[in-house]
Amino acid sequence: MKNAQVLTVAQMQAAEQALIDAGTSVDEIMQIAGRGAAEWVWRVAAGRPVTVLCGPGNNGGDGYVIAETLRQRGDEVQIVAPITPKTDAAKNARRAYKGVLLSSGKDVTGQVLVDCLFGSGLARPLSGEHILMLRDLAKRHTVRIAVDLPSGVESDSGALLNERLPDYRLTIALGAWKFAHWRLPAREMMGDLRLIPIGVAAIEGAAQLAGKPDIPVPASDAHKYTRGLCAVVGGAMPGATLLASQAAMRAGTGYVKLLTHHLPTNPPAGLVIDQASLEDTLGDHRIASVLVGPGLGRDREADDRLAMAIDCGKPIVIDADALVLLKPGMLRADMPCLATPHDGEFEALCRAFAIVAPDRQACAFALAKTSGMVILAKGPDTLIAAPDGRLAIAPPAPSWLSVAGTGDVLAGIAASRMASGREPFDAACEAVWLHGEAARQCGPAFSADDLALAVSGAIAAAL
Ligand SMILES: NC(=O)C1=CN([C@@H]2O[C@H](COP(=O)(O)OP(=O)(O)OC[C@H]3O[C@@H](n4cnc5c(N)ncnc54)[C@H](O)[C@@H]3O)[C@@H](O)[C@H]2O)[C@@H](O)CC1
Ligand SMILES: [K+]
Asked if residue 214 belongs to a domain, the reply is no
Residues 67 and 144 in one domain: yes
Residues 412 and 335 in one domain: yes
Q: How many angstroms is it from 76 CA to the middle of ligand 1?
A: 26
174 lines ligand 1 (CB under 6 A): yes
85 lines ligand 1 (CB under 6 A): no
- What residue owns the CA closest to ligand 1's atom 30? 126
Three-class secondary structure of residue 368 per DSSP: helix
Asked if residue 47 belongs to a domain, the reply is yes
What is the tens place of the pLDDT at every residue in 377-417? 999 999 999 999 999 999 999 999 999 999 999 999 999 99
- Could you give the number of structural domains in the chain? 2
What is the tens place of the pLDDT at every residue in 337-361? 999 999 999 999 999 999 999 999 9
DSSP letter (8 states) at residue 35: H
What is the tens place of the pLDDT at every residue in 107-126? 899 899 999 999 999 989 99
Residues 260 and 158 in one domain: no
Residues 251 and 400 in one domain: yes
Strands 207-209 and 77-80: unpaired
Residues 202 and 236 in one domain: no
Q: How far apart are CA 436 and CA 417, in angstroms?
A: 15
Q: Which of 151, 172, 206 is the last residue of a domain?
A: 206
Q: How many angstroms is it from 180 CA to the middle of ligand 1?
A: 15
Asked if residue 167 belongs to a domain, the reply is yes
Distances in Å between the alpha carbon of 257 and those of 59, 241, 392? 55, 11, 30
Residues 185 and 114 in one domain: yes
Residues 192 and 259 in one domain: no
Asked if residue 13 belongs to a domain, the reply is no
Q: How far apart are CA 362 and CA 370, in angstroms?
A: 12
What was the pLDDT predicted at 1?
A: 47
Chain mean position to CA 55: 29
Residues 53 and 113 in one domain: yes
Asked if residue 4 belongs to a domain, the reply is no
CATH classification of the domain holding 359: 3.40.1190.20
Residues 421 and 335 in one domain: yes
- What residue owns the CA closest to ligand 1's atom 41? 59
Asked if residue 366 belongs to a domain, the reply is yes
Residues 242 and 316 in one domain: yes
What was the pLDDT predicted at 3?
A: 67
Q: Report the length, in residues, of the chain.
A: 463
ipTM of the complex as predicted: 0.96
* Average pLDDT of the segment spanning 160-173: 98
Domain of residue 327: give its range: 229-461
**To the nearest 10°, the Cα dihedral for 300, 304, 306, 311?**
160
What is the tens place of the pLDDT at every residue in 72-87? 999 999 999 999 999 9
Residues 381 and 240 in one domain: yes
What is the tens place of the pLDDT at every residue in 7-54? 999 999 999 999 999 999 999 999 999 999 999 999 999 999 999 999
What was the pLDDT predicted at 332?
A: 86
What was the pLDDT predicted at 123?
A: 87
What was the pLDDT predicted at 2?
A: 58
Q: How far apart are CA 81 and CA 59, in angstroms?
A: 12
Cβ of 197: how many Cβ atoms within 10 Å? 12
CATH classification of the domain holding 69: 3.40.50.10260
Asked if residue 216 belongs to a domain, the reply is no
122 lines ligand 1 (CB under 6 A): yes
- What residue owns the CA closest to ligand 1's atom 36? 57
Residues 194 and 257 in one domain: no
Residues near ion ligand 2 (Cβ under 5 Å): 115, 119, 147, 151
Residues 160, 177 contacting (CB under 8 angstroms): no
DSSP letter (8 states) at residue 153: B
Specify binding-site residues for K(+). Answer: 59, 115, 151
Name the percent of the chain lying above pLDDT 70: 99
Asked if residue 215 belongs to a domain, the reply is no
Average pLDDT, the chain: 96
